[in-house]
Amino acid sequence: MLADPAQYLNGALEIIRREALHAGRVDWAQVRHECQAMCAGAQTAEDTFPAIRHVLAVLRDGHSHLRRPDAGTVHRGIIGLYFTGGVIALVLPGSPAARAGLQPGDRILGIQGRPVGPGINEGLLPDATLTLEVERAGQRQTRTLTREDARVIPPEPRGRLVAPGIGLVTLPDCDLGGTLTGGGAYQDRVQDILLDLSARGAARWVVDLRLNLGGNMWPMLAGIGPLAGEGELGAFVKGEERWPWRYAGGEASLGGEVMSRTQSAVLPPLPDTAPVAVLTSPLTASSGEIITLSFLGRPGTRLLGEPTRGLTTSNSLYELPGGAALLITTALDADRTGRVFAGPIKPDVPVSTAWAEFQTGKDSVLNAALAWLAES
């Protein structure tokens, strides 16, 4: 039996107060008072969600969030696009934005008559219906979109030979379950891609993280680990405490606990000097940034693209009654050299992505990577 709303709220607040990295930023007496006022008429646990989100926002870490019970299967009330600097980078399949024909590379001139900002989805208002002024190839269009629930379609890792001897591996975000649409495991798919490309002659690599929004780091690491190397690849840090993450033999582990394991054959780890180009963008976030950090300090790696989102913190999951969960920022992230990050990861070679040309022959970031690999 679920706790009543007051008990549910108090339990969530106690977890946040006890575990959050930045709990010291919060005036807890004031926040409890605000939450109680917000939940005065609450009848169900779900009625407390706005108050819980309010508390997580007060932490000001930009990363802690509440996960709904159905988050793995349904996007609630979405438009279905991600843009940076006003340019669309990603359109979610089956979303209102996809049905409206919006495409990567389209420039959003305004939403509800207001200009958008330079950040990720900065200016995407919470209104149920939004009118977008969009420019494509010099032509202006107006699109009116209404927020809807949409089925979650997990993005698929992909790979191909992009040039003789060069394998391109695209790592998208990974949901908490780590399961792809066809039922396969994310990490197995990535290892299969590596083995296939290696058998076809790939000895130099491009790892594209530009559309990796985050999620579950462990299947990502268990899959791509052979290119990052074996051993300790980074750590979560809180004060004097440190929890290292590692890859070895198809297993991603935290301390001594295996968090994800590849069931298929695995590619042997590359020599540290084997060239690997890692591509990033402002959409590269959270666990996508952890994978980026897992390559830092490796002699044969070069980062190309744009600075990442800046969510270089670790979220821990705390389940709530009824299936919801708190993902609370509990630590900072460090690379294998011990360098601690608290913001965006900057590339070695700054190159902007033209999203209309993503992974085409005109992709300036990919071409910069290929040029570097050709010289390596």
pLDDT per position in the chain (376 positions), as tens?
Answer: 456 899 999 999 999 999 999 999 999 999 999 999 999 989 999 999 999 999 999 999 999 999 999 998 999 999 999 999 999 999 999 999 999 999 999 999 999 999 999 999 999 999 999 999 999 999 999 999 999 999 999 999 999 999 999 999 999 999 999 999 989 999 999 999 999 999 999 999 999 999 999 999 999 999 999 999 999 999 999 999 999 999 999 999 998 899 999 998 999 999 999 999 999 999 999 999 999 999 999 999 999 999 999 999 999 999 999 999 999 999 999 999 999 998 999 999 999 999 999 999 999 999 999 999 999 8
pLDDT at position 264 is 87
Domain identity same for 123 and 222: no
Please report the pLDDT score of residue 1 as a whole number.
Answer: 44
Instruction: Indicate the number of domains in the chain.
Output: 3
Place of tokens 């958008």: 116
129 with 271, same domain?
Answer: no
**Same-domain pairing of 279 and 140:** no
- Residue 337 resides in a domain: yes
Taking the C-alpha atoms of residue 81 and residue 104, their distance in angstroms, rounded to an integer, is: 9
Q: Is residue 72 part of a domain?
A: no
Q: Which residue in 77, 168, 9 sits closest to 17, CA to CA?
A: 9
Give the residue among 268, 263, 248, 251 at the shortest CA–CA distance from 199: 268
Q: 246 and 180, same structural domain? A: yes
Q: Are residues 236 and 147 in the same domain?
A: no
- How, if at all, do strands 241-248 and 251-254 pair? antiparallel
Q: Specify whether 144 is located in the same domain as 199.
A: no
Contacts of 42 (CB under 8 A, 6+ apart): 5, 6, 9, 48
- Rounded (10°) CA dihedral 23, 72, 181, 130: -100
Q: Which among 234, 231, 354, 219 has a CA at the least distance from the CA of 292?
A: 234
Q: Do 301 and 359 belong to one domain?
A: yes
Q: Are residues 246 and 136 in the same domain?
A: no
Contact 233, 336 (CB under 8 A): yes
Q: Which domain holds residue 357?
A: 158-312+330-375
Co-location of 260 and 245 in the same domain: yes
Q: How far apart are CA 295 and CA 33, in angstroms?
A: 45
- Exposed/middle/buried for residue 65 (C-beta within 10 Å: 0-12, 13-18, 19+): middle
Within-domain flag for 288: yes
Do 229 and 102 lie in a common domain?
Answer: no
Please list, residue by residue across 137-148, b when 16 or more beta carbons sit within 10 angstroms of its beta carbon and e when fewer do: eeeeeebebebb
pLDDT, residue 2, reads: 53
112 and 208 in one domain? no
